[in-house]
Amino acid sequence: MKKGEKRDYIAILDFGSQYTQLIARRVREAKVYSEILPYSVDLERVQEEPPKGIILSGGPASVYEEQAPVCDKKVFELGIPILGICYGAQLIAQFSGGKVMKTSQAEYGRINVVLDSREDIFYGIPVNTTCWMSHQDLIENIPPNFEVIAQSENTKVAAMLNREKKIYGIQFHPEVTHTPLGKEIFKNFLYKICQCKPSWNLQSFIQQSVEEIKEKVGKGKVVAGVSGGIDSLVAAVLTHKAIGDQLHCIFINNGLLRKGEAEEVQKRFKDNFKIKLTYIDASERFLEKLKGVSDPEAKRKIVGEEFIRVFEEKAKVIGKVEYLLQGTLYPDVIESISLEGPSSMIKSHHNVGGLPDEMQLKVIEPLKYLFKDEVRKVAKKLKFPEEVIWRQPFPGPGLSIRIIGSVEKKELDILREADEIIKQEVKKSALYKKVWQSFGILLPIKTVGVMGDLRTYEFVLALRIVNSSDGMTADWAKIPYRMLGKISNRVINEVKGINRVVYDISSKPPATIEWE
């Protein structure tokens, strides 16, 4: 939000939760603007443009530890409604005279919570409701002037409230999809308690992004790596709106693409976008660098660094290029390393953590505060074709992280064929737009099989199909057995090198969507 622009917004103080950006997403889903700030933010900065409410995120630390992250205690004296989630709730208790302690009975997963009050933040929520817990500390004694408004079997303070100051503490996570009525809890906080108006929209985001890119780049040149995916394309179109032919789009074939993808991306660009595209086939170069590398983080770093080297080489041909455009999204940022707080790193993404430390180009990331569904909405406003809008997410390191172990051309070709069958069958079933991702992972183990009268000893393919709205949390898709059987039969019969297919039924958390 630009300084001086008056709009209802919520400030989110980040204490290191992997779900901090997801909290921001839930707020914006309710059409209220949100900003993520470090927990140590100077309160004078907050008071310059007072938010209508403040949310304290969760975090991996314990509030009673000596080095625990804490905000300025004066935040509770601003007269602004506050919602503390998990660690945030415990911090409220600790600061306000309550007691937090380690529990002998940690709670993880879906838990039934009983509401003692269905007013304010729990308005319209059933007395018995399912919530997602993830904690090993709990509030043992509530502070003076607070009351308990929810509890679970093992947590006597699942939620508490200081009614006079409008300070709420919730032990569970309303931001994750595993808390089915979490969105309603946020709406109650935003509309009933903070008195926010639903005024945030993506049209203003488009206008602001174009202005900011134009101002930042000036007369400089920008090079963009496009993959055919919606993120890089939206970033490219926004940038092209801002600076026109100062943008140079490059599509690099790194040898890790899906079947027919190189040709498909070039055709899509030619048919739908009035932006010049340079195609570079660097597949041999990437595969040589990846030869013998098994560690997934090493793969990501290699792919990320090699991308930059190719861009830098091309930049010299184009002329003086200063900027690299990337389609980085919120989940990329939070899963790599928190930009604003002490979040724990899960894995790097090639467009965030995979960049080399020494890089000649400055990075532009116009989408880094958006989630995938928001990017799709922006694409619709920009009149993108449907097949682009609904293209499933594909990782920057490509198939290299869907082959467990070292990456060889033979295994890549096997996985490409299997991946194509999965895509065909999911599209046939009309599930392609409904599921978040559907793909295969080639495992580094072989099993015995029988085909005809012959014994086979071939690879195992793990099939992964998940439902999600943001990539931050996901559930495995309950696909009809008939469809699973069709995919398995086709892969085993048509792809030489695979004789067994297994289905991954892990949710995120605790698993991640990709295996590496």
**Residue numbers annotated as active site:** 86, 173, 175
Distances (CA, A) of 219 to 170, 195, 206: 49, 43, 20
What is d(CA 243, CA 329) in angstroms, rounded to the nearest whole number?
A: 22
Distances (CA, A) of 31 to 19, 27, 53, 123, 368: 19, 7, 14, 19, 18
What is d(CA 5, CA 445) in angstroms, rounded to the nearest whole number?
A: 58
In 10 A of CB 121, how many CB atoms?
26
Q: How many CA within 13 A on the CB side of residue 192?
A: 15
What is d(CA 298, CA 295) in angstroms, rounded to the nearest whole number?
A: 5
32 in helix, strand or coil? coil
DSSP for 229-250, written as a single string: SHHHHHHHHHHHHHHGGGEEEE
Q: Which residue from 218, 211, 216, 238 is spatially nearest to 226, judged by alpha carbons?
A: 238
What is d(CA 211, CA 30) in angstroms, rounded to the nearest whole number?
A: 25
What is d(CA 511, CA 516) in angstroms, rounded to the nearest whole number?
A: 10
The distance from CA 468 to its chain's CA centroid, rounded to whole angstroms, is 10
SS (H, E, C) 147-163: EEEEEECCCCCCEEEEC
Max Cα-Cα span within the chain:
78
The number of residues making up the chain comes to 516
What is d(CA 226, CA 235) in angstroms, rounded to the nearest whole number?
A: 9
What is d(CA 242, CA 202) in angstroms, rounded to the nearest whole number?
A: 17
Strand positions, DSSP E, 124-257 = 128-141, 147-152, 159-162, 167-170, 222-225, 247-253
First to last CA, the chain: 35
Q: 136 has which bridge partners? A: none
β-pairing, 53-56 vs 159-162, is unpaired
What is d(CA 372, CA 470) in angstroms, rounded to the nearest whole number?
A: 6
